Structure 1
Amino acid sequence: MVAATVLGVAKQTKVVPIKLIPTLPPLNVSTTAKASYLSAFVYNISANAIACGYTAISIVIVMISKGKRSKSLLMAVLIGDLMMVALLFSSTGAAGAIGLMGRHGNKHVMWKKVCGVFGKFCNQAAVSVAITLIASVVFMLLVVLDALKLP
């Protein structure tokens, strides 16, 4: 949930000079960068929230059935954990790709770097992607532990 919160509150407003005609002075325009403007970031926030909700629910279910864990319950938890691994890794890839595009731009299609202007926003997005990657690895380790528990 930390990654979703960090990215969800990331917002930065800057005044950006835009040159319309070479002979005229630039026009200063206030521009805002926030996660809701990029679908990959919205996906990352949603994936983190879903994984957090799933974790809370699965902890409650496992705690309730502590003495009577069946093979079907362990298999259900394993499948759920696998789904969270896939969800988190895919959202990490999506948000990471957009983040790299913002940091480095793309000369082939003439997309400019935006992290030079929106540095704080880009740093918050990078931290969120890093936290999501760590969460993905933790879930992957949980899958391994779940698989080892199967009879």
Structure 2
Amino acid sequence: MSTTIDMPGSSKAAKAGKPVLVTTPSRPGGWKKGVAIMDFILRLGAIAAALGAAATMGLSDQTLPFFTQFFQFEASYDSFTTFQFFVITMALVAGYLVLSLPLSIVAVVRPHAAGPRLFLIILDTVFLTLATASGASAASIVYLAHNGNQDTNWIAICNQFGDFCAQTSGAVVSSLVAVLVFVLLIVMSALVLGKKH
């Protein structure tokens, strides 16, 4: 970026009738590079949240003895298909986030390139939908586990399976953190794509 300033003076360029060219150093990338760096950092945080959610839910297990050791009650994530869906989708979300890191690095190196950002915003929206669906469905089951439902005679199991409920609740909260980070990533990418300069 250069600026032409016409300065009357005694220099050779002024005597020849040519304007003096004064250049100002321009920062390549500017605020878009800062947004791209923040995008990369948020992706790392979303990876941690999604992996934490999948691992916590996948490892949730509690067994209660009932009268004898031969007859036991067990609660684990694979007892509920919703929790299985949750583990699979959060693992997919974490995998996508890991695979999206190179494109995020490209956005840092070339902050004015629209292609990588457009590709990321489309895929971020798809995986935001997956993360939201799995988090919301798991949240509904966790709610039933905590409170039960009198109309359908579902009893609250968290009175007996406290550790299991604490782990599943933590996994749901972690997934909702990943959803929030996805929303921030999409908004930031949309702002960068919407600005021309």
TM-score by length of 1: 0.86
User: Are residue 10 (structure 1) and residue 60 (structure 2) matched?
Assistant: yes
Structure-2 residue corresponding to 1:76:
119
Q: Pick one of 164, 171, 187 that aligns with 1:128.
A: 171
TM-superposed deviation, 1:37? 1.2
TM-superposed deviation, 1:9? 0.5
- Equivalent-residue separation in structure 1 for 2:172 and 2:137 (angstroms): 9
Larger Rg: 2
The higher relative CO (CA closer than 8 Å, separation ≥ 6) is in 1
TM-superposed deviation, 1:69? 6.1
For 1:108, what is the secondary structure of its paired residue?
Answer: coil
* Identical amino acids, percent of aligned pairs: 26
TM-superposed deviation, 1:131? 0.6
Structure-1 residue corresponding to 2:72:
30
TM-score by length of 2: 0.67
Contact 2:103 2:116 in 1 (8 A): no
Unaligned runs of 5+ in 1: 18-27
User: Are residue 40 (structure 1) and residue 82 (structure 2) matched?
Assistant: yes
Q: Pick one of 93, 99, 116 that aligns with 1:51.
A: 93
- Equivalent-residue separation in structure 1 for 2:93 and 2:189 (angstroms): 17
Deviations 1:35-84 (A, max 9, x none): 01111111111121111111111112332563386423211100111112
Structure-2 residue corresponding to 1:146:
189
What is the one-letter code of the residue matched to 2:65?
V
- Equivalent-residue separation in structure 2 for 1:114 and 1:100 (angstroms): 10
The CA RMSD over aligned residues, in Å, is 1.7
